[in-house]
Amino acid sequence: MFTLKSDTEIKQLKKIHSIAGIGYWIYNYTTRKFWWSEITQKTLGYEPFSVTPTRDLLIKHIHPEDLVFFEESLKQMQLQPMEIEFRFYRNGEMRLGKITGEVYQENDTVEEVLFQDITDIKIKEFEIAKAWNKALEAENLKNAFLANMSHELRTPLNSIIGFSELLETGSITNNIPRFASSIKDSGLQLLKIIEDLLKVSMLESRTAKPVKRNFNLPNMMLEVKSLTTRLLKNKNKEHLQLHFKTTGKHSVIKSDQNKIVGILNNLLHNAVKYTENGSISCSYKINNQTIEFSVSDTGKGIPKECQSNVFQRFRQADDNSMHNFGGTGLGLYISRLEIELLGGKIWLVSSEKIGTTVKFSIPNVIDHELISDIHPNPEIFNWENYTVLIAEDQFTNYKILEAYLQPTNINIIWAKTGREAISESLQNPEINLILMDINMPHTNGLEATKLIKKTRPNLTVIAQTAYALEGDREKSLEAGCSEHLSKPFNKTDLLITMSKYLP
């Protein structure tokens, strides 16, 4: 071995290179002598001073496919400084290296090269680039979602506000039913968007829980068919053929009926949205303990490269779907999460211009302990000898409840605050039931319920509230409420719930 620099300079170089993990070699073209640093030896897999450095030994570590490029680059280095990347082997493991060097004349022709293993750096760069692309994609998705959500919210709001202003003028008497129907449909559309956002929050936070009970499967399918028929009419697609098929000997299964209805409605809504001609089919079959549902259409189909996206949030079949067909891009994502919550799975088969079939399965649905789901007809209730206290601070909400209850002939007392609810319930022993709003001034509904129950423990209190997240129902029941109705609820839900506690 020889010394081309002073001992002090070599010592300093060693320290710098050790900190940076950069090796160093020097080759004298005149004397053919070769020297490399300890870092270079370690980078190639040798213990310090365990081998004698030679040009041939270095060449043996270069990947065969990069060898010609490596040697040619060293020749070019005699003409100009060079920086190259190449593959090499260390103890049989392929690595990625980088050299930066030059050849100069100093009595002899000398090649000085910095040598670094950049494998880990490249891996980190790749991971950073991958994370950056993922973050960029997420940012683009978020921006597209917010822009689309603004459109989806403003569309029904425009109808609600516009038709309400027309009704307010009082000069369109003949169109009142039609305008009222449009306001209701737009309100339901708005509610669906809000419910989807809440569902995503609960499902992603793992706070949602299935409510499994026995129910009649054919009756459920009739309900879904009725909703789909109405959807076809609203979308002016009544020319599409609608087929509902039922198979299997079991008419009663045990699962979360509301979630299954919601999933089927999401799938059928997509089928209607993307199908212009042909037919839409919905069926199920039961094998052992598992039920498998299927929804097929003869619509536009989903491009193969986009099929992996449709079950992700804020994603649709392609980038133009939201612009051309509307929607939040949450339907199939929610369906997937709810199916997984029930222990099942979802998949699809689709071909462009031929159609799409989406299937999902739910296990463990057979239960022989039947539970009656028959509800009385809400139109025949007559509660003229009973009194209800409506605790509600919002005048419009009170008027809706009053309108729902008027046909039953029940006596109504209105309390606008929690304190009034407590006072009225204690001063009027004839009150048989309380419809208790939760978010009220002075004393909230939960505190009011607790205080009322101390004096009148047998008085039925039904919470009717806009609090609809997971855990809100439990809070109402813990406070002493017998039921929890989440706003908005319809007339039928209200009357059937009250009928459990009134004759």
Cα–Cα distances in angstroms (integers) from residue 74 to residues 69, 125, 358, in the given order: 9, 27, 60
Backbone φ and ψ for 402, nearest 5 degrees, come out as -60, -40
User: Which residue is associated with the tokens 């050790």?
Assistant: 18
Q: What is the pLDDT of residue 310?
A: 84
In a 13 Å sphere around the CA of 226, the CA atoms on its Cβ side amount to 7
CB 91 within 8 A of CB 111: no
Structure tokens at 417: 């605050």
Q: For residues 287 and 130, give the distance between their C-alpha atoms in angstroms, rounded to a whole number.
A: 43
Task: Output DSSP code: residue 305.
Answer: G
Helix, strand, or coil (residue 328): coil
Can you list the domains of the chain with their CATH numbers? 7-117 (3.30.450.20), 125-204 (1.10.287.130), 213-362 (3.30.565.10), 378-499 (3.40.50.2300)
pLDDT of residue 7: 65
Enumerate residues 6+ apart whose C-beta is below 8 A from 490. Answer: none
* Secondary structure (DSSP) of 242-276: EEEEE-SS--EEEE-HHHHHHHHHHHHHHHHHH-S
> Mean pLDDT, consecutive 10-residue segments, the chain of 503 residues?
55 67 88 89 89 92 93 91 93 92 88 92 88 79 71 83 82 76 83 79 74 85 91 91 78 87 92 93 90 94 83 61 56 89 92 92 76 51 93 90 91 94 94 93 90 93 79 86 85 88 86
| Pairwise CA distance, residues 206 & 202, whole Å | 6
Q: What separation in angstroms does the CA of 149 have from each of 133, 203, 306, 469?
A: 24, 20, 21, 21
Length of the chain: 503
H, E, C per residue of 109-160: EEEEEEEEECHHHHHHHHHHHHHHHHHHHHHHHHHHHHHHHHHHHHHHHHHH
Question: Please, what is the end-to-end C-alpha distance for the chain in angstroms?
Answer: 107
pLDDT for the residue 179: 83
Q: What's the pLDDT at 253?
A: 87
Residue 345 per-residue DSSP state: E
